[in-house]
Structure 1
Amino acid sequence: MADAFIRWYREMAAVSVLDEQVKVFKEHGIALTHPVMGAAMVLNVEGDAVPMRQEELSRILGLRIAPLTINWWFSADINVTDAYTYEPLGCEIQTFFLDGLHSEEMEHVESAVIAASVALDVPTRAVIVDRRGVSDPDDWDSLTLYDGEPAPRFPDSVCAQEQIAEKILQNSPGLQKKKGRGGLYRLAPAHPV
Structure 2
Amino acid sequence: MALVHPVRGQAVVLDIEGEQVLMRQEELDRLLGLRIASLTMEWWLTADTNVIDEYAYQPFGCEIQTLWLDGLHTDEARRVESAVIAATTQLPIPTHAVVIDRRGTSDPDDWDSLMLYDQAQVPRFPDVVIAQEPIVEKIMRATPGLTKESVGGYLTRLAPAFQA
TM-score (norm 1): 0.82
User: Secondary structure at the residue paired with 2:9?
Assistant: coil
Query: What is the distance in 2 between the residues matched to 1:53 and 1:122?
Result: 25
Query: What is the distance in 1 between the residues matched to 2:154 and 2:90?
Result: 12
The CA deviation at 1:90 is: 1.4
Residue 27 (structure 1) aligns with: none
The one of 144, 150, 156 equivalent to 1:179 is 150
Q: Amino acid of the residue matched to residue 32 of structure 2? A: L
Residue 123 (structure 2) aligns with: 152
Residue 64 (structure 2) aligns with: 93
The one of 20, 38, 46 equivalent to 1:75 is 46
Q: Which has the higher contact order (CA 8 A, sep 6+)?
A: 1
Q: Deviations over 1:83-132 (max 9, x none)?
A: 00011221111100111111111101101110110122111010000011
Residue 3 (structure 1) aligns with: none
Q: Deviations over 1:48-107 (max 9, x none)?
A: 111111111111101011100000011111100000001122111110011111111110
Query: Structure 2: 5+ residue runs without aligned partners?
Result: none
Q: What count of residue pairs does the alignment treat as equivalent?
A: 164
Contact between 1:35 and 1:76, CA under 8 Å: does it hold in 2?
yes
Contact between 2:89 and 2:151, CA under 8 Å: does it hold in 1?
no
Query: What is the distance in 2 between the residues matched to 1:60 and 1:176?
Result: 39
The one of 93, 101, 107 equivalent to 2:78 is 107
Q: Deviations over 1:3-47 (max 9, x none)?
A: xxxxxxxxxxxxxxxxxxxxxxxxxxx111111101000111111
Query: What is the distance in 2 between the residues matched to 1:176 and 1:59?
Result: 40
The CA deviation at 1:150 is: 4.3
Does residue 170 of the first structure (1) align with residue 141 of the second (2)? Answer: yes
Does residue 141 of the first structure (1) align with residue 104 of the second (2)? Answer: no
Q: Deviations over 1:138-171 (max 9, x none)?
A: 0100100011134431000000000000000010
Q: Amino acid of the residue matched to residue 37 of structure 2? A: A
Residue 132 (structure 2) aligns with: 161
Query: Structure 1: 5+ residue runs without aligned partners?
Result: 1-29
Residue 34 (structure 1) aligns with: 5
Q: Amino acid of the residue matched to residue 31 of structure 1? A: A
TM-score (norm 2): 0.96
Does residue 54 of the first structure (1) align with residue 22 of the second (2)? Answer: no
